[in-house]
Chains A and B, each alone.
Chain A
Amino acid sequence: MSAPGAVEGPFAALREQLLEAAAAFAGAPASLSEILAGLVDDVDRALREQLEIFPVCHHSPASALAMARRLREKRPEVVYLELCEDLRPLLDELRNCRLPVALQAFATELDGFPAGSGPLSVVAPITEASAEYQVIAYALETPGVELVLVDRSADHVFQWLDKDKDKDRDDAPAPDPEHGEDAALHGDAVGIEIGDLRPRFAELEAHLLHHGKVRHWSEWWDQYVERPLLDADHDTYRQVMVLIGSLFRRLAPERGDRLARDEERERHMWTRIREHLSTSGADPARAMYVCGAFHAASRVEEFGLAGSDTYTVTPRTGTRWLYGLIPSSHSAIEAQFGLASGSVSIAAATWTKAVSRGGVKPYRLEGQQTKAKPKKAAQPQVTVPGPVPDRLSGFLSKPPELGGLDETELLGWCVDLVRLARRNGYLSSTADAIAVYETSILLAGMRDRARPTPYDFQDAAVTCIEKDVVPGRRDVRHLCEILLGGDRIGQVGYASMPPLAREVYDRLEPLGLDLHKRTVQRALMNLGAEPELAPCSHLLWMLRYLLPDGVVRPIMGTRRLGERSLQESWDLSLGQHQRSLIELGYEGVTVEQVLERRLRRAVWDPQATAATALEAVEDSIVFLGSRRFTDELGARAVELLSAERTVDDAPEVLRRMRRLLAHFRAAEPELPAWCEAFVTTGYAHYCTLLPTAFVAEDTGVRQVGAMLGFLFSMEGLALSLGCDRAQLELAVQQSHPQAPAKVALLWGAQSQLGLLPLAALRERCDGLLANPLVVPSFPLYISGFVQALESVPALTPFVVEVISKAFGRLPDAVLLPWLPKLITTLRDQARELVPVLVREAGRTFPAGLVELDAWVPPWERPAAPPATAGGQGVAASGPVAELLRAHPDTCDAVAALLGCEGGWQADEPPAYAEAVALLARHPETALAVAGLVAPTG
């Protein structure tokens, strides 16, 4: 192998160790030697580059330590970092956060991406035990140091993803039950990380795991790279990292889209670096480029300061990107990047231990929130490494003893774990602690490790403590993770949140709760006694509308049109769902603004219907109370209704419109214009569609019933607004349904319109019951009649009569199978009509057994003689009657017009004279009532 002399020596041993992996995947022997020579070339090129390249690996404490050491030693003035260039302004906000948090770029208003592919979200999690955090902390805390992000923008992340035909979004999070509930903290964002270093195809990884005798990649990395490198000097570190990056690169699939994407990124990064150097005039010797080891071994033409300048950065799309910080967690990072459960926690524990051991002082952002206790002061200065011993030779054959666990620590773990297990329901005892200790050491011995690693300890604990069942929610493996640092969950500080989120916290302050806590907070509000809490309650209802379920949850109290609670109780978990609140903050500056935009979006959606628009109108009244906005939404509802060609939503429209009318009549002096327009349009609209709806098979009885309900119940209003009743009569006359249920509905409508007297209707029903050919379908008629109650409430006694007759006369073969159906139909489709029916039945049927014998149904009683006009009737009384009596001309004229004979009744003393006398004697009650009803009058 012809390698340059400069890189011979220390690499000989490592090359030998990696030979097997390379040989297994190289194919022909010629290509093997080519690969090996290439590895050396790559390392040589990276290390000789004028601009110092610092290769890193994500979530690697060894990288972080080496970085801290190097930064203290070199103190560069410019640092180029492999991170999306548009995320730079966010970095300053890290000061206010508790790590881990993720930098997020978020876009909902897409321009240039396929419609429906949004919302787009990119996250870059930052942990404390990472090299990138060291760089960021150094650059932000040291005056005069410039930090330049050089990777492609978030927009390009999706542009380039889009190019991939096979959609290898391997970095998208995969649901994994192994990870806990906090694993979903990143949502469905695409994750990017600095220093992605992992074999690019499964076989290579499987080969390394198999030969490394480990279970997963994180363990391999920890055992073979991480621990040996923890105390390596700068040169060794760089050589090893570039070598590994180069090997993975050379063994990556040649035509993979991912490799092409990586190369494009490298071109982008080098182009940006050169641009910056030429514009700023910075000295390359005082600069440093921090990138993943994979990119350090790049072979693109643009590589290096002397690289070609042929690459042009493609323009971004017109998509509007929003930026912010969201909380992250170890488990979320593991889930996002396919790492083994617990590996990031173990890396964090390794970092803490390495830092506390001294030797290097890590950088930390001033004001950084942290939960960790203050560490005892580390040694102030870095120890300058002496002559470098050849540590490389042993990397893959035998891990060094340094960095392993000492006995006291292992003992401590064993004891703590047993205690933790006991608290979680395991029957563990001191004997188990001894067994775990012994087994850890035995396992480490069997696995060629000088001291047990956390992974050995975990295995030993599972072996000795976990029996056939897991008593609690947590198994021993999970307990070990908790013990070794646990899943740390980050928090975005108040100052770094978007204005909306900050405003929410401010406005909820009167509640007196610490809403940053991750536990559920219970808010109790007695709005009668503490009216100052009303704005909080209002905000909470809006948040409940806007945020996903579970973030704010009312336990007691409701908020609907016309309803307001005097007491409310809420479960708030804003601390745990910070991401949802922050992402809400991307949509607008205040909650009201976001709500308005959402409502507006809902009514202008291509799929919007009149019912959804009415729902938005209701919501706008309940939450925003802006007349102008409500009118705008209402006007849209009218538009939508007139454009609709189906009546599927008629029941919903009827229900909502009735409620809105009731609201406006109660709360406003007059109906809004849109409301009147809606009623007139609806009247005309439903009249037009009625004949078709009666015959169309795909239109249900409920829908037709609701249409009739709309027409009849709003008829008064519609006619007063200029509609013509003849239109409805014609529509009913044009309707010729075939289906029995709809026939019954039609009869109900005709009866309401006076086209079909009740006697005739009764006769028809009796005829149906007497006809054995129609009897089986009689239940369908009943369903129709029940639906008709919506529009013709006066039909209730008749419906009770029909049902009673059906029960009495229908044969069991028809009746029994139909009964369950009747009940389910009533429950599903006519829930609100059942109480009416039951009340009527209660009035009709005798209450006791004794009366039953003598009882005759009202419809079978002989008809009472018609009341003669005048004399027998109850004398008209009240202010109306008095008014008419005082001005009889109008009535006389109308009577003459109609040909009504007979005169005015004698002005007899009113029948309620006694009552009047009583009231005159004791006027206090009446006055008090009058005062209540009309306080101003």
Chain B
Amino acid sequence: MSDEMLRAPAEAKYADELDWLESVDDGPRPFSWRLSPRMVRLFVLGSERSDGLDREIKQKWFGDRSLVERAIVTLASDRGLLLIGDPGTGKSWLAELLAAAISRNSTLVVQGTAGTTEDHIKYSWNISMVIAKGQSRESMIPSPIMTAMEQGVIGRFEELTRSTSDVQDALISILSEKYVSIPELDDDNVVFAKPGFSIIATANSRDRGVNDLSSALKRRFNFVRIPVVTNKRSEAEIVRFRTTELLRRHRIELDVPPTLLDILLQSFADLRAASESASSDDERLESSLSTAEQIGVLEDAILHSHFFGDRTLRAQTLAGSLVGSLARRSPEDLAILNKYWHGVVEPRSKKEGGQWPDFLEGGRQAIATLS
């Protein structure tokens, strides 16, 4: 089935691994969880030789072990889990992996937007059925969260802080009483959550203040803050892992030379340092320079090389892609990139050589084209 999908959900993609883990898991499982907490951790963070498993489980999310443990434990407790962090830090990916491992269903997702209404969280009605048959459970359309309650699985709420406060507050009763009442119906008018139900929400820390969570809702969530990955080694791992996946998805066979990957990581590290030391927003790139952004740059460069180039990833292409992705505002971003290219990349290309001179040239051309 996964072959026919552009992007298979985690439970489909790693169905084999999940099946196998379930078969060997002899640990205690909370509620209706498909795996024990330890196996969930193993699924997310990958196995090691010391775990004594017959089969290797690949690491899927790269970050602090204790964060994952705290997240899993929260789901086993009475509270919802709120993953909070900068854009591109892997919050949604972690949420998806957790939902897949715990309940084999990561698709019960509500996307929080300014247009999200309470109906999206609770239920709505199929108008034609209501006209034909009246209000009944049949003519009711349950939201993904209500479905999760009925099935006793994990429901997800993406970008919680993008939806308005009154909509967010609809979650309060779901998280504390664990049921939704349907006053339109005379009987069978309460949907009780089955054991195993919980919510993983994600929130972008850059959106803080747009629609702040109420204290009542905050109390019902445990917050786990996902930091931006600054460790170069872990970041390289993440970029490599995600890029391999993307290449497979696009069915492209192309090598990413390690030297180019280093250049990409180094450039992002430099730009991040510059952003941190900048005193005003005008001196700072608009991009959050997250790991996801790096993956985007690399993917862009790969696709460009594959379809318009000679099917080899070159430093010029990477530079062009980097400039193209990061230059969002003109002239501020372009000015910062120009400064970076001439102040950092140029001396480095003279000093270190290798692929840097090509990278310098490609960047220059890209900046010239955009200016």
Q: B37-67 interface mask toward A, CB cutoff 8 Å, 1 = contact, 0 = none?
A: 1100100000011100000000000001110
CB neighbors of A among B263-279 (8 A): none
Knowing A446-B41, A468-B208, say if A439 contacts B73 (CB, 8 Å).
yes
> Are A446 and B38 neighbours in the complex by a CB distance under 8 Å?
yes
Contact assessment for A215 and B66 in the assembled complex, using a CB-CB cutoff below 8 Å: yes
Whether a CB of chain A sits under 8 angstroms from the CB of B218 is: yes
Segment with Cβ contacts to A, from B74-82, B165-173, B186-194, B289-297:
B74-82
Most buried by A among B79, B208, B218, B224: B79
How many residue pairs bridge A and B at CB < 8 Å? 67
A459 and B69 within 8 A (CB): yes
Interface assignment of A429: CB less than 8 Å from any CB of chain B: yes
Whether B48 contacts A446 by the Cβ 8 Å rule is no
Asked whether A211 is an interface residue with its Cβ less than 8 Å from the other chain, the reply is: yes
Interface string of A452-471 (1 = CB under 8 A from B): 00000001101110111000
Contact B222 A435 (CB under 8 A): yes
CB distance from B220 to the nearest CB of A (A): 9
A598 within 8 Å of B by Cβ? no
Interchain CA distance A213-B50 in the complex, whole Å: 11
A residues within 8 A CB of B48? 210-211
Task: Say yes or no: B224 contacts A463, CB within 8 Å.
Answer: yes
A20-B50, A211-B50, A435-B79 known; A446-B74 Cβ under 8 A: no
Known A213-B65, A427-B219; contact A463-B78, beta-carbon cutoff 8 A: no
**Is A447 part of the contact surface with B, judged by Cβ < 8 Å?**
yes
Known A427-B218, A468-B223; contact A463-B73, beta-carbon cutoff 8 A = yes
Tell me, yes or no, whether A251 is within 8 Å of chain B by CB.
no
* B37, B218, B219, B221: the one within 8 Å of A445 (CB): B37
Contact: A467 with B77, CB < 8 Å? no
CB-nearest residue of chain A to B73: A442
Expressed in whole angstroms, the Cα–Cα distance for A210 and B213 within the complex equals 36
- State which of B66, B72, B203, B223 has its C-beta within 8 Å of the C-beta of A466: B223
Determine how close the nearest CB of chain B comes to the CB of A438; give it in whole angstroms: 5
Q: Chain A residues near B50 (CB, 8 Å)?
A: 20, 211
Which residue, of B38, B69, B215, has the highest number of chain A Cβ atoms within 10 A?
A: B69
The reply on B211 being an interface residue by CB < 8 A is no
- CB-defined contacts of A211 to chain B, threshold 8 Å: 48, 50
Contact A435 B77 (CB under 8 A): yes
Q: Which residue on chain B has the smallest CB distance to residue A440?
A: B73
Verify A464–B215 contact, CB threshold 8 A: no
Tell whether, in the assembled complex, residue A467 and residue B218 are in contact, meaning their CB atoms are under 8 Å apart. yes
With an 8 A cutoff between CB atoms, is A443 at the interface? Answer: yes
Which residues on the A side are within 8 Å of B69 (C-beta)?
443, 446-447, 459
Residues 77-113 of chain B: 1 if any A CB is under 8 Å from the residue's CB, otherwise 0?
1110000100000000000000000000000000000
Q: Which residue of A lies closest to B72 (CB)?
A: A446
A431: Cβ under 8 A from any B Cβ: yes
Contact assessment for A459 and B84 in the assembled complex, using a CB-CB cutoff below 8 Å: no
B37's partner among A435, A446, A466, A467 (CB-CB below 8 A) is: A446
Nearest residue, chain B, Cβ from A209: B65
CA distance in complex: A439, B75 (Å): 10
Report the bound CA distance from A60 to B49 in whole Å: 31
Q: Are B70 and A463 in contact (CB under 8 A)?
A: yes
Nearest residue, chain A, Cβ from B218: A467
Report chain A residues within 8 Å CB of B219: 427, 429, 431-432
A363 → B minimal CB distance (Å): 38
Complex contacts, B221 vs chain A, CB 8 Å = 467
Report the bound CA distance from A427 to B221 in whole Å: 13
Contact among B64, B76, B79 with A464 in the assembled complex (CB-CB below 8 Å):
B79
Alpha-carbon distance between A442 and B37 when the two chains are bound, in angstroms: 9
Give the chain A neighbours of B139 by CB distance below 8 A. none
Tell me, in angstroms, the Cα distance from A860 to B227 when the chains sit together.
76
B312 at the interface (CB under 8 A from A): no
Closest-CB distance, B4 to chain A (whole angstroms): 37
Q: B205 contacts A468, CB within 8 Å?
A: yes
CA of A463 to CA of B205, assembled, Å: 17
- What distance in Å separates the Cβ of A703 from its nearest Cβ neighbour in chain B? 36
A463 and B37 form a contact (CB under 8 A)? no
Query: Smallest Cβ distance from A897 to chain B, in angstroms?
Result: 75
CA distance A132 to B219 in the complex (A): 47
Give, as a whole number of angstroms, the nearest-CB distance from B102 to chain A: 13
CB of B309 to closest CB in A, whole Å: 39
Chain B minimum-CB-distance residue to A213? B65
Complex interface: chain B residues within 8 A of A439 (CB) = 70, 73-74, 77, 222
Interchain nearest-CB distance for A457 vs B (Å): 12
Chain A residue at minimal CB-CB distance from B36: A446
Contact string against B for A residues 673-716, beta-carbon threshold 8 Å, 1 for contact and 0 otherwise: 00000000000000000000000000000000000000000000
Identify which of A213, A429, A442 contacts B77 (C-beta below 8 A). A442
Contact of A438 among B41, B66, B77 (CB under 8 A): B77
Are A463 and B38 neighbours in the complex by a CB distance under 8 Å?
no
CB distance from B30 to the nearest CB of A (A): 8
Across the interface, B66 reaches (CB within 8 A) one of A429, A431, A459, namely A459
Q: Which of chain B's residues have a CB closer than 8 A to the CB of A215?
A: 64-66
Q: How far is the CB of B21 from chain A (nearest CB, A)?
A: 15
Which residues 416-437 in A have Cβ within 8 Å of B in the complex?
A: 427, 429, 431-432, 435
The 8 A CB mask of A335-372 against B (1 = contact, 0 = none) is 00000000000000000000000000000000000000
A449 to chain B, nearest CB (A): 12
Contact with A along B322-365 (1 / 0, CB 8 A): 00000000000000000000000000000000000000000000
B215: chain A residues at CB < 8 Å are: 427
Contact check, B223 vs A467: say whether CB atoms are below 8 A apart: yes
A20 to B49, CA, bound (A): 10
Of the candidates B38, B50, B64, B222, the one having the most CB atoms from chain A within 10 angstroms of its own CB is B222
Q: For B223, what are the chain A residues with a Cβ–Cβ distance below 8 Å?
A: 463, 466-468
> Does A443 lie within 8 Å of B70, measured CB to CB?
yes
Which of the residues A427, A432, A459 comes within 8 Å of B70, measured between beta carbons? A459
Instruction: Output the residue of B78, B213, B223 with the most chain A CB within 10 A.
Output: B223
**Chain B residue with minimal CB distance to A458?**
B66
Q: How far is the CB of B233 from chain A (nearest CB, A)?
A: 10
The complex places the Cα of A872 from the Cα of B222 at a distance, in Å, of 98
Please give, as numbers and ranges, the residues of chain A lying within 8 Å of B73 by CB-CB distance: 439, 442-443, 446, 460, 463
Residues on the B chain within 8 Å of A431, using CB = 219
**Closest Cβ neighbor of B84 among chain A residues:** A468
The docked-state distance in angstroms from the alpha carbon of A885 to that of B222 is 103
**A377 → chain B, closest Cβ, in Å?**
40
Docked complex Cα distance between A552 and B270 (Å): 44
Determine how close the nearest CB of chain B comes to the CB of A50; give it in whole angstroms: 40
Tell me if B76 and A442 are in contact (CB < 8 A). yes
Q: Which residues of A contact B208 (CB under 8 A)?
A: 468
Residues of B194-224 at the interface with A, using a CB-CB cut-off of 8 Å, are: 203, 205, 208, 213, 215, 218-219, 221-224
Residues on A with beta carbons closer than 8 Å to the beta carbon of B79: 435, 464
Residues of A within 8 A of B74 (CB): 439, 463
Shortest distance between the CB of B262 and any CB in chain A (Å): 21
A320 to B50: give the CA distance in the assembly, Å.
Answer: 55
A439–B213 Cα distance when bound, in Å, is 23
Contact partners of A213 in chain B: CB under 8 A: 65
- Taking CB as reference atom, which chain B residue is nearest A428? B219
How far does the Cβ of A670 sit from chain B's closest Cβ, in whole Å? 59
- Ordered by A's residue number, 13 sampled pairs between the chains whose C-beta atoms are within 8 Å are A210-B48, A211-B50, A432-B219, A439-B73, A439-B74, A439-B77, A443-B73, A459-B66, A459-B70, A463-B70, A467-B218, A467-B223, A468-B223
8 closest Cβ contacts across the A-B interface? A442-B73, A463-B70, A463-B222, A446-B37, A467-B218, A467-B223, A443-B73, A438-B77
User: Chain A: residues with CB nearer than 8 A to chain B?
Assistant: 20, 210-211, 213, 215, 427, 429, 431-432, 435, 438-439, 442-443, 445-447, 459-460, 462-464, 466-468
A-B contact sample (11 more), CB < 8 A, given A439-B70, A463-B222: A20-B49, A211-B50, A438-B77, A438-B78, A442-B37, A442-B77, A446-B69, A459-B69, A463-B74, A468-B223, A468-B225
Give me the interface of B with A, judged by CB distance under 8 Å: 37-38, 41, 48-50, 64-66, 69-70, 72-74, 76-79, 84, 203, 205, 208, 213, 215, 218-219, 221-225
